[in-house]
Amino acid sequence: MIYDKLIQTDELLPRLGDTNWLIFDCRFDLADTAKGESLYRQSHIPGAIYAHLDRHLSSPITANSGRHPLPRQDELVEWLAQCGLRKDTQVVVYDDSFGAMASRLWWLLKCLGHQTVALLDGGWQAWQKQSLAEDALIPLLTPSSFNAVYDKQYMVDTDAVLDNLQTGEFQLVDVRSVERFSGKLEPIDPIAGHIPGALNRPLSDNLDAQGLFKPAQVLKDYYAPLQVDWTSRQQVFMCGSGVTACHSVLAMVIAGYPMPRLYTGSWSEWIRDNTRPVVTSI
């Protein structure tokens, strides 16, 4: 059985200790960047390797970048090789934010051509709710010779988004909350609002009341209106920094649509230049 979208707790449990499986703990708190790793060291799914959003899944911030620039390809690939990733490895990623952080690693691996990667549905909360195995052991790593390159067909940069204001070649879909999109509330970035022409589809709508992804058909119906005028390849998802938008990219794939593109810099990069237009709808 290959898992390339979601995996359930009861499907992961019997594979703990499987040498051809890698589990990554992606817990991260934007307000306390050390918290996720601290929690990991206290307790995690047995065998899980910690993936730090800033250290492993992003590169350093620059004067022109957003808050979470894409990790350098060579550094990401080297780290994954040190973790023991091979072409046939089944990867599972999880967090404690119902996939909002772990989906970043899911997306990065997809962009590197590694298809056998799945998000643990419900994440750490679902695992703990069932009182499943935990430990605090740091796994011993067996490095591999993994090598890969980014497939940039899944990525859109700021220049392309700026050009799109004139050409209208794709539909920008912003997954931030309604309050942040409208400009009514902005707890993270210095400027509030959204990019002209963007549609708002909050990522919270991907989940049910238990924090699990909604069924594929429900997600298909939710995103179906986007397909009327734009194919999946003509849709570009964005968020605050290019991290949580991966959650909605995954939701689209679960729904059965082709994988859409991601505006990797997203809102926090867009507002680096105050000549770029911003819309508020308070």
Segments making up each domain of the chain, as ranges? 6-129, 152-270
**Residues 6+ away with beta carbon under 8 Å from 45:** 12, 16, 23, 25, 94, 124, 127, 132, 133, 134
Question: What pLDDT score was predicted for residue 282?
Answer: 56
Closest CA to 240 of 204, 199, 189: 189
pLDDT band at residue 232, thresholds of 50, 70 and 90?
confident
pLDDT band at residue 162, thresholds of 50, 70 and 90?
very high
Question: What pLDDT score was predicted for residue 228?
Answer: 86
Q: Which of the four CATH numbers 3.40.50.450, 3.30.160.340, 3.90.320.10, 3.40.250.10 does domain 6-129 have?
A: 3.40.250.10
* CATH topology (fold) of 152-270: Oxidized Rhodanese; domain 1 (3.40.250)
pLDDT tens digits for range 168-224: 999 999 999 999 999 998 999 999 999 999 999 999 999 999 999 999 999 999 999
pLDDT tens digits for range 8-50: 999 999 999 999 999 999 999 999 999 999 999 999 999 999 9
6-129 against 152-270: fold identical: yes
Residue 150 pLDDT more than 90? yes
Q: Of all residues in the chain, what percent carry a pLDDT higher than 70?
A: 100
Q: What is the mean pLDDT of residues 65-76?
A: 98
| pTM as predicted | 0.97
Q: Of all residues in the chain, what percent carry a pLDDT higher than 90?
A: 96
Q: How far is CA 210 from CA 51, 96, 103, 176, 214, in A?
A: 25, 13, 18, 20, 10
Catalytic residue IDs: 239
